[in-house]
Structures are given as C-alpha cells and as structure tokens.
Amino acid sequence: MKIDIVTTRNGVRETVAYDYRPRQEGERPMILDVLLQAQATALPDLAFRYGCRARNCGVCTVDVNGRPRIACRARVRAGDRIEPMATLPVLADLVVRRDGIARQLQGRTTPDHRDPDVNAEAPEAYHDLTACIECYACLDGCPMHARNFGDDAADAAAPDAATGYRWGNPFSLLKLQRLRLDPCVSEDGRQAALDAAIDLGLDACVGCKGCKCGVGIDLKGGVVGELLAAAGDRVPGDGASAS
C-alpha cells in the first residue's frame, strides 16, 4: 500500500512514497502503523509524535490529505498523504511545535481563585470539557489562531511559540470556559477567565462558522457560544455568532 509521507529534515521538505506492508491478512492499519513501520524499515530517523496508541494522549495528530487526524485511531488508505499539522510550525518531519498554544494561558488564568473546599460536584458540562485530550485538531480553520501568523493583516504579529501566541484558539477557550464552570472557582476567577478569553481575541468567533473538536466535544455550543453569551456587548457581534 503506497502512502506519501512528507518529511522535513534540517528545513528541507520532501515527499517520500512509502510502501506499507500489511502485517496480517486483511489488516486495516492506522496512520500510526505506517509511521512506525516506516521508522522500523526505510526511514529510521523519521520524526513523529505518539504516546499511548489508544487515543488518550492527543499528541499524534497529523494532517491526512489536508485534514487533522489522530494518527493512532485513523485508518489509512492507499494514496493517503501524511503531513505535519498545517496549523503549527514544523520542527522536523511530522513534529510541530506545540508549546506556544498552552503557554499563552500563562498569567491569564487565576489559580488563586479556587476555593479550598473541594467537596463540590461539577456540572455535566464541566466534565464534557475535561474530555479534551489536547490533540489540537480544532486549530484547523480557526481564524483566531490564524491571526498569530499574520493572516489578518490588521492584527499581524510575529508568532513566538517560546513565549506563547498572542491570539487564542478553541483549546485555550475551552480551558477558560472550564474554569468558568468549575464550582470551586470564585466569581472573580470566572470574570478573569472571561476577560482572558476576550483578550485572546474572542471577537474572531463572531460570525465564524465554528470550530470542530477531534474527539467530539461540542466546542461551538459548549465553549464559544457560552463565552460569547457571557461577553455580551463586550464583544460586538453581527448577529451571526458561532453559537
């Protein structure tokens, strides 16, 4: 089974046609199986991320035919093209630099606003958001995230993954909305989380067709919609918001 793997070594991008050999009769391999076999045979230095092989750790996301897929749980088909996620800077082969996404929340959230009495039960919506495995598939097509790379000329800013991106993304909004649903977070803490969402560019969500989650979390309604509703007039809308 022929698969195209896009490699980047020392800055040089190349497409390698790899011939996957099934290990069992009738095998329906995953993308990750292809990468593992390629590394075990023809491409020993092939760089890619994976961890659990079971869709729990969220680090193996790659683009397949231009769309983000969780490599350990996405079936591969002959002719597929495996590339690094297009939404983040490539470090080597299929490995992208991820830490700028998390870093942008540093200093924007408020750990001090948690109540020491931890015997409070969280609403179902809180647990829905805790299902996020940080796969970053939701960055795909997010205009807010794209601002970091200058797609929006007015807001063009040099992306700096080492210090955290200026503009947010569905994942960071999810983290903030999760704080707002935590029964142990104070009113101040909730307000601070909303302020952070607005500061990260919540206005980009107005009129956006909405984000999609790699594991099926309702980002549109459960995160963006809730934040926009809470922000009210602070984020001027055109009536066509993501909610």
Partner 1 sequence: MTIEVEWRDYDVIVVGSGGAGSAAADAAAAEGARVLVVSKDPIACSDTKISEGNATVRGTVSDADTEQVLSDNLRVSGADLPLPALTDAYAKDSRPAYDWYRAHGLRPKINQDRKGPFARPLAKGGHTVARSVGHKNAGVAFSHAAWDAVVEGAHIDYLEDAWFLDLAVEGAENGAPGRVAGGLVYHAASGTLVAVRAPAVVMASGGLNTLYFPKTDTMRGNTGDGYAAAARAGADLVDMEQVQFLPFCLTAPASYEGLLVGEPSTASFLGVLRDRHGKVILDGVYLRTRAECSAAIMRAVADGRGTDDGGAYLDLTANARLPRSGKGFMRYLETSMPSAYRTARQALSKPAVRCEESWEVRPAAHYTMGGIRVDATGASVGGADDGTAAAGLSGLFAAGQAMGGVFGANRLGSTALTENVVFGLRAGRGAADHARTHSRATGDDAFRSLIAAAVAQFGQSGDQAPAHLKLELQRAAWDCIGPARTADSLNRMDAVIDDLADRAGRAAVPDYALWNQAFIEWVELRSLLDVARAVTAAARERDASVGGHVRLDRPQVSILAQPYSTVVRGQAANDGVLRFHANRARRPRTPAMRLLAMRLKDAWRKVQAKVLCLLPPALLDPILDRRYRAILGPGDAAPAVSPGGPAAAVADAAE
Q: Which of residues 63-82 bind ligand FES (CB under 6 A)?
A: 70-72
How many other β-carbons are positioned within 10 Å of the β-carbon of residue 1? 15
Of ligand FES, ligand SF4, partner 1, none, which one does residue 205 interact with (CB within 5 to 8 Å by kind)? ligand SF4
- Confirm or reject binding of residue 208 to ligand SF4 (CB under 6 A): yes
What is the rounded CA–CA span in Å between residue 110 and residue 190? 9
> Closest distance between ligand SF4 and the C-beta of residue 190, in Å?
19
> Closest distance between ligand SF4 and the C-beta of residue 28, in Å?
24
Residue of 22, 51, 79, 123 that binds ligand FES (CB under 6 A): 51
Beta-carbon-side half-sphere exposure of residue 126 (alpha carbons within 13 Å): 11
Of ligand SF4, ligand FES, partner 1, none, which one does residue 143 interact with (CB within 5 to 8 Å by kind)? ligand SF4
What is the rounded CA–CA span in Å between residue 45 and residue 42? 9
Residue of 15, 41, 56, 163 that binds ligand FES (CB under 6 A): 56
Question: Which segment (38-46, 120-128, 147-155, 217-225) binds ligand SF4 by CB under 6 A?
Answer: 217-225
- 144 sits in the region (left: phi over 0; alpha: psi -120 to 50; else beta) called alpha
- Confirm or reject binding of residue 228 to ligand SF4 (CB under 6 A): no
List, in sequence order, the alpha helices (H) in the chain.
31-40, 99-103, 124-130, 143-146, 170-181, 187-199, 219, 226-231
3-class DSSP assignment, residue 23? coil
- Confirm or reject binding of residue 50 to ligand FES (CB under 6 A): yes
- Confirm or reject binding of residue 60 to ligand FES (CB under 6 A): yes
What is the rounded CA–CA span in Å between residue 231 and residue 220? 15
Site for ligand FES, rule CB under 6 A: 50-53, 55-60, 70-72
